[in-house]
Amino acid sequence: MLATSVRGVGGWRAGVAEVNITPREQIWLAGYAFRDRPSEGVLHDIYAKALALQDARGNISVLVTSDLVGISRSMAEAIARRSKERFNIPRDRLILNASHSHSSPVAGEALHLFYDMDAGQRAVTERYTRRLLEQMVDVIGDSIKQLAPAELAFEQGLAGFAVNRRRAAPGNRHLPGPVDHDVPVLRVRNGKGNLRAVVFGYACHATSLSGYQINGDYPGFAQEEVEKAHPGATAMFVAGCGADANPLPRIRGVLTEKSISLAATYGRILATAVELVLQSEMKPLDGPLKTAWQHVDLPFQQLPSREQLRAKLEKADDSFGRRQFNYLISVLDREGKLPDRYAYPVQVWQFGSSLTFIALAGEPVVDYSLRFKGQYGWDRVWVAGYCNDLPSYIPSLRVLREGGYEGGEGMTGVGLPGPFSSAIEEIIAEKVDELIQRTRNQK
């Protein structure tokens, strides 16, 4: 584990730490249901990183980023509980973000129905998950230990390789659809003006690679490039609302020199966007850092009956489909009913009057980012997805009306009983607004 001190002047104090979370043994990789065997080597190491921030009032908040497909609810709750016990960090002051790399190890229950693992492989993932949980808590503690005066600044750049994946014509030519090409950047400098940490984001699936070697996909390459350009600085990637965006072009299947080069190119494009922002006149962030967190219930549409689930099970033509419907039938057997709603976590960090950071769970489609930035200010809002839980895709009303994977059949694949209600976007938007107003009205 590495930890670096951040020193400088001003009201902020910051601390940065990182830990290598690359598995020690062959392990099933996350994100794709087609994989039929465990990992075969490491393309590059993967990490969990933590940035602790203390405002002038003494409040400590911690952002954790990770080269993982997602962080399940149970894992997030365990990390938060231990962080409260060991470091007295309230739940609203801890954000857990995953890059959504589809070449990262399976950990916890995130997307658990995707993986056709035997008992031996499940034991491997359980060992890894236990170790990962300890590492995540430890890296939070290490970042807090390094708190020292710092200066924070924010600005946004652009990167153009994300393409809306829902609008494809024959020949895999993608037609125009909504995307978010913004690259938000948070800079942390010490008292001597030296760069100590760079937090940056992008709204695009980390799916440029799909083989059997462990890696962080394009976000991993981007972090490597930023750190290479700034020795001694820690680069942290925050996944945005990229549920319906893919990097294009991409090469599916076993890793080749060409596919790896393509992923590395996307990483360099993103790192270049970050570098251009760092060279610009960035806006200083003021404090205090006010925070809010709350669950909101997202209702499902009409629930399937046992007979309907059995009919779908009989029609399922692969093991993934059979796992989905067997799981839902087992929930019915155990609970007597299927859940009619999901408790969805929403979180807001308000940096003085300078920046509003909105942390959404699951895989939100791009409409949420575009909506909130349009509503609250394009130049002072950062919308992250893949935070604190990975229940499913989080469709907008547009996506639900259009139909398709992100709002329909993708739900049962993650163990939910069916699509969300058409009210989902407004429910989330109302909760986000409530939390923003709550933070802005805090004394």
Instruction: Record the tokens describing residue 252, joined without a space.
Output: 């599916």
User: Among candidates 410, 34, 19, which has minimal Cα distance to 212?
Assistant: 34
pLDDT at 172 over 80: no
DSSP state string for 4-32: EE---SSSEEEEEEEEE---SS--PBSS-
Q: Collect all residues with Cβ–Cβ distance below 8 Å to 204 and sequence separation of at least 6.
A: 161, 162, 218, 240, 242, 245, 246, 247
pLDDT at 374 over 50: yes
How does pLDDT run across 384-439, given as a tens digit for each residue?
A: 999 999 999 999 999 999 888 888 877 777 889 989 999 999 999 999 999 999 99
The pLDDT, as a whole number, for residue 111 is 84
The pLDDT, as a whole number, for residue 256 is 82
User: Among candidates 368, 354, 156, 327, which has minimal Cα distance to 242?
Assistant: 368
pLDDT at 169 over 70: no
Question: Would you give the distance in Å from CA 286 to the centre of its chain?
Answer: 25
Q: What is the Rg, in whole angstroms, of the alpha carbon atoms belonging to the chain?
A: 21
How does pLDDT run across 341-370, given as a tens digit for each residue?
A: 999 999 999 999 999 999 999 999 999 999
Instruction: Record the tokens describing residue 386, joined without a space.
Output: 């893949």
The pLDDT, as a whole number, for residue 170 is 52
How does pLDDT run across 273-305, given as a tens digit for each residue?
A: 999 999 999 999 999 999 999 999 999 998 999
Average pLDDT score over residue span 311-321: 86
The pLDDT, as a whole number, for residue 328 is 92
DSSP H or E stretch at residue 375: helix 366-376
Taking the CB of residue 329, how many other CB atoms lie within 10 A of it?
Answer: 17
User: Helices marked H in 47-204 — which ranges?
Assistant: 73-87, 119-145
Confidence (pTM): 0.95
Residue type at position 375: Q
Contact 47, 238 (CB under 8 A): no
Average pLDDT score over residue span 37-59: 97
Residue type at position 310: R
Locate tokens 């995540």: which residue? 136
Average pLDDT score over residue span 189-196: 90
pLDDT at 246 over 60: yes
DSSP state string for 273-321: HHHHHHTS-PEEP-S-EEEEEEEEEEEBSSPPPHHHHHHHHHH--SHHH
The pLDDT, as a whole number, for residue 321 is 84
Instruction: Record the tokens describing residue 106, joined without a space.
Output: 């399976």
Q: Is the peptide bond before 249 cis (omega within 30 degrees of 0)?
A: yes
Beta-carbon-side half-sphere exposure of residue 153 (alpha carbons within 13 Å): 17
What's the whole-number average pLDDT of the chain?
A: 93
Tally of residues, the chain: 443
pLDDT at 6 over 90: no
Contact 352, 287 (CB under 8 A): yes
